[in-house]
Chains A and B, each alone.
Chain A
Amino acid sequence: MAEPIRSPKRPRVALFELASCAGCQLQILNCEDELVDLLQLVEFVYFKEAMTETSDEYDLALIEGSVTRESDEEKLRVIRERAKLVVTLGSCAFPVGIPGLKNQHDLREIETLVYGADSEFFPSIQAKPVDAVIPVDMHILGCPIHKDDFMRVLSALLVGKNPPVPTYPVCVECRLKENVCAYDRGLMCLGPITRAGCGAICPSYGSRCFGCRGLAADPNIPSLEALLEEHGRSGGQVLAEYALYNGYYSTRDGGLKAKVTE
């Protein structure tokens, strides 16, 4: 992966959307200060929301969204075959994000709830992250991705470097910002176990961490459990909160469910 993206001309970039809010591709368009320069460095050859022209030849595939239909899996396999590098954008693509909420319900039941007797027109499968279907070279995390993070990763890939990914939790960044701890404000917070890199933006604006970036590399579970005990909260509450963004891996081997006592 340390090879720079080699291309006869500018590296060609394609952006694909699965089930998502399109907020991460919007974040690319929101790079107002960098966009003109970015277009000198790379060539977007597939970006349906912004352009009519399309191409099947690309070096870098950016993928936004969760896998929610069988046809998505086939689409991903074709993309993996064509692209030199596959990078996901945002929480839907990894760890599964809000589309994964439906995994907590009976699929047929919510299909019928929403579309009634016509639900057969709209077949759906359990929501999965992209890397559950094809190998992924890199995840740009967050709901939504941060503009700076996108630019940092793209610049690194263009020169063949591996962009650094924090292994520590959001708590570290939050303390550096000298925020009052969400637990001391009477709130539940997933900062102790969620992977950093967001600058603790949600707690910094008076909210709390909802775990959108997935689990930190080596979450300190004993420390989390001590914190929960101190504030009269349970592991079960953490798992319920965690399922908001992590409704795929949390229930699988090595997921948070196996680590935390309910």
Chain B
Amino acid sequence: MSTKTVEVRVDYVSRVEGHGNIVVVADGDEVKEVRFEVTEAPRFFEGMLRGRPYDQAALITSRICGICSNGHVLAAITAMEAALGLTPTEQTMLLRRLLLHGETIQSHVLHSYFLVAPDFFGLGSVVPLVETHPDVVRRALRMKKLGNDLCDMVGGRAVHQIAAVVGGFTHLPTPEELLAFRGRLDDAAADLQETVTLFAGLEMPDFERPTEYLSLKADNGYAFFGDQILSSNGETTPVSRYREKVRERVVPHSSAKHCRSDQATFMVGALARLNNGFEHLSNGATQAASDLGMRPGCTNTYMNTVAQLVEAVHCVEDSKAIVTTLLDAGLRPDPPAVEVREGHGVGAVEVPRGTLYHEYGVDGEGKITEANLIIPTGQNLANLEADMWALAPQVLPQGREKTQKAMEMLVRAYDPCISCSTHVIYLDEEVTA
């Protein structure tokens, strides 16, 4: 047995959002060190929010991340409404779900086709596929555009939407726009089916490591909004007490804090939602899951990408149902009516990469006094490192190159949003150096 020290290092992992490095050090067959370093510039959002008016929380926090911007808007609005004692109308909740579905569709399609798929074609990016597989690239772009156009219709634009605010919407889609969009959602079925067929033919790496999966729990249906946190062990925790379940700590090699549930690591995101809410998937999504070999209780992290595709099908079908409901009921102007008061509230939303928590305190003039923001990628970082520890001994014997590729693909499977994770962090008593 060799005792040679091997260091596998990937600086600035590509095809993920933001700047992170992989480090694996082994001495012979003993893994000595595993790190996912986050070197993204910190931006101190919690500090910057203090003193700003309550209605700017959504605007400011959406600039944490362009890819998850609608998710931040919706989490901020939900938390502010909890702080101010507002209950949104049913119409507003339906429109918010549409806005979220648009973002989830575009984000999942971008991740699976543009960031993950090149690994299976042995390519560094999607660019060569423009020449070799133009139909695949055009299909991916069509599906991404569908998600973005849904956001455009509901929020005014796909990145940093405008119309969704605390209390309601400042602008509504017209019945003509909704009707036309329902047609496009119908037409998306063929693209979705071909996507399922394409990815069903890709073999995900075989890697099992059971962990705890956390997601929101809805009163009915697949959870995107909700007041309870559901664990794969069956326990629930009220969102208002999220700090008891999701604990953050600072680690020196990362400008993004890590999270743990009690003492163990956990995973959030599409795989967690699917494991915890499989029975609530739409019919087409259930069929897609079956075609893709996806079953509840899956403990292979690499399958997170497959879970995203199942969710993309679900989001398209659920959007169709929402548009139909809105057209049948007729849209009524729903201008925000907000009475400012002192308060404190927590809001949580299932965004593409997992559960996003926003918490705010507001004074009697409507100024923000405190803000805590817990990002899905931050919650996943400790679990990612635990996966890397488990994966390293399995792949190191295959050599440096294969180890590097397996580690990069593992990082990509989480669909990390590193900008998000570094820009939103709060002070916690548990800080350890």
A interface list, Cβ under 8 A from B: 17-27, 29-30, 32-33, 35-36, 39, 44, 47-54, 65, 68-69, 72, 97-99, 101-102, 104-105, 109-118, 121-122, 124, 143-144, 201-202, 204-207, 210, 244
* Inter-chain contact A26/B159, CB cutoff 8 Å: yes
Q: Which of A22, A98, A101, A111 contacts B67 (CB 8 A)?
A: A22
Of the candidates A53, A110, A118, the one whose C-beta lies within 8 Å of that of B44 is A110
From known contacts A36-B141, A206-B171, A210-B59, infer whether A114 and B148 are also in contact, taking CB-CB under 8 Å. no
Select the residue from B16, B157, B169 with max chain A CB neighbours within 10 A: B157
Contact partners of A205 in chain B: CB under 8 A: 155-156, 162-163, 170-171
Residue among B47, B162, B433 with most chain A CB within 10 A: B47
Does B56 belong to the interface (CB within 8 Å)? yes
Indicate if B138 sits at the interface (CB-CB under 8 A): yes
Please determine whether A207 and B44 come into contact, CB atoms closer than 8 angstroms.
no
Residue among B138, B159, B252, B427 making CB contact with A114, cutoff 8 Å: B427
Say yes or no for B247: interface residue by CB 8 A criterion.
no
Contact residues in B for A113 (Cβ distance below 8 Å): 44, 46-47, 427
Kindly list chain B residues whose C-beta atoms are within 8 Å of the C-beta of A47.
125
A124: chain B residues at CB < 8 Å are 41-42, 44
Q: Which residues of A contact B162 (CB under 8 A)?
A: 201-202, 205-207
Report A-chain residues with C-beta under 8 Å of the C-beta of B144: 29-30, 32
Closest partner residue, chain A, to B134 (CB atom): A36
| Complex contacts, A101 vs chain B, CB 8 Å | 48, 52, 60
Q: B47-88: contact bitstring with A at CB < 8 Å (1 yes, 0 no)?
A: 110101000100110111111010000000000000000000
Q: Mark B6-36, 1 if CB is under 8 A from A, else 0.
A: 0000001011111100000000000000000
B125 adjacent to A53 (CB under 8 Å)? yes
Assuming A50-B15, A51-B124, A207-B162, is B47 touching A114 (CB within 8 A)? yes
- Does chain A have a CB within 8 A of B320? no
A53-B124 contact in complex given A98-B60, A202-B162, C-beta closer than 8 Å: yes
- Residue B425 lies at the interface, judged by CB distance under 8 Å to chain A: yes
The residue that A21 contacts in the complex, of B69, B106, B126, B170, with Cβ under 8 A, is B69
Other than A29-B110, A205-B163, A206-B162, give 12 A-B pairs with Cβ distance below 8 A.
A23-B63, A36-B137, A36-B138, A50-B114, A98-B43, A102-B47, A105-B50, A113-B47, A116-B431, A122-B255, A143-B63, A202-B162
Counting chain A CB atoms within 10 Å of each CB, the highest count among B41, B67, B426 belongs to B41
Q: Check if B158 is an interface residue, CB within 8 A of chain A.
A: yes
Provide 26 A-B residue pairs closer than 8 Å at the C-beta atoms, listed in order of the A residue. A21-B69, A22-B18, A22-B419, A27-B159, A29-B144, A30-B106, A30-B148, A36-B141, A49-B17, A51-B14, A51-B126, A52-B15, A68-B41, A99-B43, A101-B60, A105-B50, A110-B47, A110-B48, A114-B44, A114-B426, A118-B433, A122-B42, A201-B157, A204-B156, A206-B169, A244-B52
Q: Render B109-128 as a binary contact track against A, CB cut-off 8 A, 1 for contact.
A: 01000110010000011110
Measured in the bound complex, the distance between the Cα atoms of B252 and A116 in whole Å is 12
Please name the 3 residue pairs, one residue from A and one from B, whose CB atoms are nearest each other, closest first.
Answer: A23-B66, A206-B170, A110-B47
Please judge, given known A-B contacts A26-B159, A114-B46, whether A32 and B171 are in contact too, CB under 8 Å: no
User: Would you give the shortest CB distance from B41 to chain A, in whole angstroms?
Assistant: 4
Instruction: Give the number of residue pairs across the A-B interface with Cβ within 8 Å.
Output: 184
**Given A201-B162, A206-B171: A19 in contact with B41 (beta carbons within 8 A):** yes
Interchain CB contact (< 8 A) of A26 among B14, B66, B155, B428: B66
- B218 interface residue (CB < 8 Å to A): no
Chain B 149-170 interface residues, beta-carbon cutoff 8 Å to A: 155-160, 162-163, 165, 169-170
> Which of B17, B156, B159 has the most chain A CB atoms inside 10 A of its CB?
B159
- Contact of A32 with B148 at beta-carbon distance under 8 Å, contacts A49-B16, A51-B125 already known: yes
Residue of B nearest to A207 (CB): B162
Q: Are A32 and B426 in contact (CB under 8 A)?
A: no
For residue A204, give the distance in angstroms from its CB to the closest CB of chain B: 8
Let me know if B142 is at the binding interface, CB within 8 A. Answer: yes
| Bound: A21/B43 CA distance, A | 10
Complex Cα distance, B115 from A24, in Å, reads 18
Beta-carbon contact of B15 and A51 below 8 Å: yes
A46 to chain B, nearest CB (A): 10
